[in-house]
Chains A and B, each alone.
Chain A
Amino acid sequence: MTQQEGKKEKISRQPMPEQAPEVRRRNFDEVPLGLSPEAAMKEAQRCLQCKKPGCIAGCPVSVDIPGFIKLIEEGEFTKATRKIWERNALPAVCGRVCPQESQCEGVCIVGKKGEPVAIGNLERFAADYERKHGKGELPPKAKPTGKKIAVVGSGPSGLTVAGDLILKGHDVTVFEAFHRPGGVLVYGIPEFRLPKEIVFQEVNFMERLGVRLECNAVVGRTVSLDELFEEGYDAVFLGVGAGLPRFLDIPGENLIGIFSANEYLTRSNLMKAYRYPEYDTPIIKGKNVITLGAGNVAMDAARTALRLGADVSRIVYRRSRQEVPARAAEVHHAEQEGVEFHFLTAPTKFIGDEKGRVVGMEGLKMDLGEPDASGRRRPVPVKGSEFRLECDLVIIAVGAGANPLLTQSTEGLQLNKWGYIIAEPETGKTSKKGVWAGGDIVTGSATVILAMGAGRVAADSIHKYLTWGW
């Protein structure tokens, strides 16, 4: 026992091997390459197996973290994945995109005196190992209940609801507007952060469990929500996402070469424009690129631009580095790859050439004043600080609002003043009987894992309703 403890004190956090910045800035392969089994087992030894694990509470879906880490330490990789599956249907995704530093790893005791246990890397390791070497065994399902659930949207919250309820014996159909499932996991997050093959395999896992997937189904157009009930569904979950791009409403915004981040990333990720002309959808490959905004989406856009051949890729953000909303890891990767950061800077207008193509951006420097409604310090323009930046591609990544396509065409669904669906936090219930909602369409743009947490809450509530009637 004492020798074991001694060992734990000596092992430092196993580094995640990564593609070198100069290489990876021009390819779409994953940046982190994954821990080897040896490194994973070594990292797993660092876990103290706390009696009162804070990490579990730090996880929005309460994965039994010490539990799965112990199994990795023992070399029982498949069992480790099954342990994660008890609470998380998409470990290969979460291990890659969760902000662990502000969740599980942020409260890890080991992190108080050194580096926290690399929980995210271990989760990813287990999921990847199972995908590559697993026998493809499926978890057991409960007896059929005869109840039918319609899940609208195949993003993280919808997939979580589907995965949970299929195991409880219900009949589940997922409706997806796009031609491929995954939602933001396929259209928003680039290949180099989350390979699409992984998402499709996770979805395929659900289909093997019995979930029916209907792509090219726009609920609110092809079929209405009320019609789903008429068709015999007993409950409906809405996980349609935020999906309404925000623009700045400044002069020149409709010039050629100015994109919402949604369009730029959808072209590159979902339509695979990064492989043009092998894939037919084109994209504008700017040499001198400006991305407005500093969230995770902005980092994805700026890094994609480099991979598409930009000589210069800049982030222009109206607040300072302290207020940057993106994960520190994403900012770090972006800087390593050569993305330039311009803080306290905001655009006032875009300049175009005679063919209507953007050639420049004018702006002002900012100072930070008193906090605004969001609690962040408000940017205040500095008089006389006008400047101009040359650019041939601008990506606007300043957030997304609630897409009204479904909400406007559905009666009885209460929305807040910004168009988001009002749902009870403890259950996900909306004002419409038999309808639950979760993810970005309720909270506004947030994270994959929070959407999954909301999906978990709603699935539990739906199951209760279908079983007991409330």
Chain B
Amino acid sequence: MFKIVRREEMAEGTVILNEIDAPLIAKKAKPGQFVILKANETGERIPLTMADTDTQKGTITVIYMVVGKSTAIFKSLKVGDGYMDIIGPLGKPTHLEKVGNVVCVGGGTGVAVLHPITRALKEVGNHVTCIIGARNKELLILEDQMKAASHELIVCTDDGSYGRKGFVTEALKDVLDNNDIQLAVAIGPVPMMKFVSKLTKEYNVKTIVSLNPIMVDGTGMCGGCRVSIGGKTQFACVDGPEFDGHQVDYDELMQRLQAYAEQEKQCYADHQCRMNP
């Protein structure tokens, strides 16, 4: 069992942080890599990109939004409880290079994934501007951590309840207009990554995104996570999860993410019924 050593609730309890004892994974994990977790005997295998690792303590940290039965079960795990199965580190690590000026854009829980990458890009000598966004102030996460991980942080909320009012793409446009940017990294909901990539294409800025298709094994043996990159099929779990943002077929990914939408809704509703009779 992989024990939870620390647990935090964010964004009004919709986003959960679990710091988990997993020394072998922590030792090997690099920014951008993910793990696959299974809570119990009947649970699903779920991929989550690591938000942090601590080789001293031998822990990995994941941050996830509660969107269905499996993440609801994860939320119910307390400190001292654990996940029955975790494998990792999986996926190709982020390519880290000093290129000059980098802008990192994160939306929703994508910010958690963006955190170690932003920090690493800063550590190798890039000047890093970070833009994070959420629907409102309550749903913003990791503001302090992202500030520390970058040279400049711009916070956006859709409703203007905090920071700059508007989408991250609007803030990004300002950054692109006023700076010479060599690299953009965008992680968040698929529509966000799609529109960020569309924008950076106009400025000819190389863009990396981290994709989140449905996965089962995570080691390249099933092809469930296949995505189309430049018209070619690739497996997000072994060829990714990061890809050239301008080559991704986002519409196909959004469609494939709906494959089990009905079952997910039903399952989650039944689960909530059982939890709150």
A and B physically associate: yes
Tell me whether B220 and A403 are in contact (CB under 8 A).
yes
Tell me whether B223 and A280 are in contact (CB under 8 A).
no
B221, B256, B259: which contacts A244 (Cβ < 8 A)? B221
Tell me whether A280 and B42 are in contact (CB under 8 A).
yes
Known contacts A260-B222, A282-B263; decide if A179 and B25 are in contact (CB<8 Å): no
B31 at the interface (CB under 8 A from A): no
Within 8 A of A (CB), among B220-277: 220-224, 226, 228, 233, 238, 252, 255-256, 258-260, 263-264, 266-267, 270
List, sorted by A's number, 18 A–B pairs whose CB atoms are closer than 8 Å: A177-B87, A179-B38, A179-B87, A218-B90, A221-B89, A223-B24, A247-B223, A247-B233, A254-B228, A254-B256, A262-B221, A263-B222, A267-B216, A277-B263, A355-B258, A356-B255, A403-B219, A403-B221
Tell me whether A221 and B223 are in contact (CB under 8 A).
no
Residues of the B chain whose Cβ atoms lie less than 8 Å from the Cβ of A244: 220-221
Taking the nearest CB of chain B, how far is it from the CB of A224, in angstroms?
Answer: 9
Tell me whether A245 and B222 are in contact (CB under 8 A).
yes
Taking the nearest CB of chain A, how far is it from the CB of B48, in angstroms?
Answer: 15
Within 8 A of B (CB), among A225-276: 243-245, 247, 249, 253-254, 256-257, 259-260, 262-263, 266-267, 271-272, 276
B43, B88, B238: which contacts A222 (Cβ < 8 A)? B88
Tell me whether B219 and A177 are in contact (CB under 8 A).
yes
Tell me whether A263 and B224 are in contact (CB under 8 A).
yes
Tell me whether B258 and A271 are in contact (CB under 8 A).
no
Known contacts A222-B89, A280-B43, A280-B44; decide if A262 and B223 are in contact (CB<8 Å): yes
Tell me whether A216 and B233 are in contact (CB under 8 A).
no
Chain A residues within 8 Å of chain B by Cβ, number = 40
B38, B42, B44, B219: which contacts A218 (Cβ < 8 A)? B219
B88, B223, B260: which contacts A245 (Cβ < 8 A)? B223
Taking the nearest CB of chain A, how far is it from the CB of B254, in angstroms?
Answer: 9
- Interface bin, chain B: 35 or more
A254, A256, A276, A277: which contacts B233 (Cβ < 8 A)? A254
Tell me whether A254 and B226 are in contact (CB under 8 A).
yes
Residues of the B chain whose Cβ atoms lie less than 8 Å from the Cβ of A266: 216-217, 221-222
B115 at the interface (CB under 8 A from A): no
Measured CA separation A271–B42 after assembly (Å):
8
B45 at the interface (CB under 8 A from A): yes
Residues of the A chain whose Cβ atoms lie less than 8 Å from the Cβ of B263: 276-277, 282
Residues of the A chain whose Cβ atoms lie less than 8 Å from the Cβ of B97: none
Measured CA separation A222–B85 after assembly (Å):
13
A129 at the interface (CB under 8 A from B): no
A281 at the interface (CB under 8 A from B): yes
A466 at the interface (CB under 8 A from B): no
Closest to A275 in B: B42
Residues of the A chain whose Cβ atoms lie less than 8 Å from the Cβ of B173: none
Residues of the A chain whose Cβ atoms lie less than 8 Å from the Cβ of B86: 216
Tell me whether B258 and A256 are in contact (CB under 8 A).
yes
Tell me whether A271 and B216 are in contact (CB under 8 A).
yes
B201 at the interface (CB under 8 A from A): no
Closest to B73 in A: A280
Taking the nearest CB of chain B, how far is it from the CB of A333, in angstroms?
Answer: 25
Residues of the B chain whose Cβ atoms lie less than 8 Å from the Cβ of A355: 255, 258
Q: Which 8 A-B pairs have the closest CB atoms?
A: A356-B255, A263-B222, A179-B85, A243-B221, A282-B263, A260-B223, A245-B223, A256-B259
B124 at the interface (CB under 8 A from A): no
Tell me whether A279 and B87 are in contact (CB under 8 A).
no
Tell me whether A263 and B90 are in contact (CB under 8 A).
no
Measured CA separation A6–B260 after assembly (Å):
63
B75 at the interface (CB under 8 A from A): no
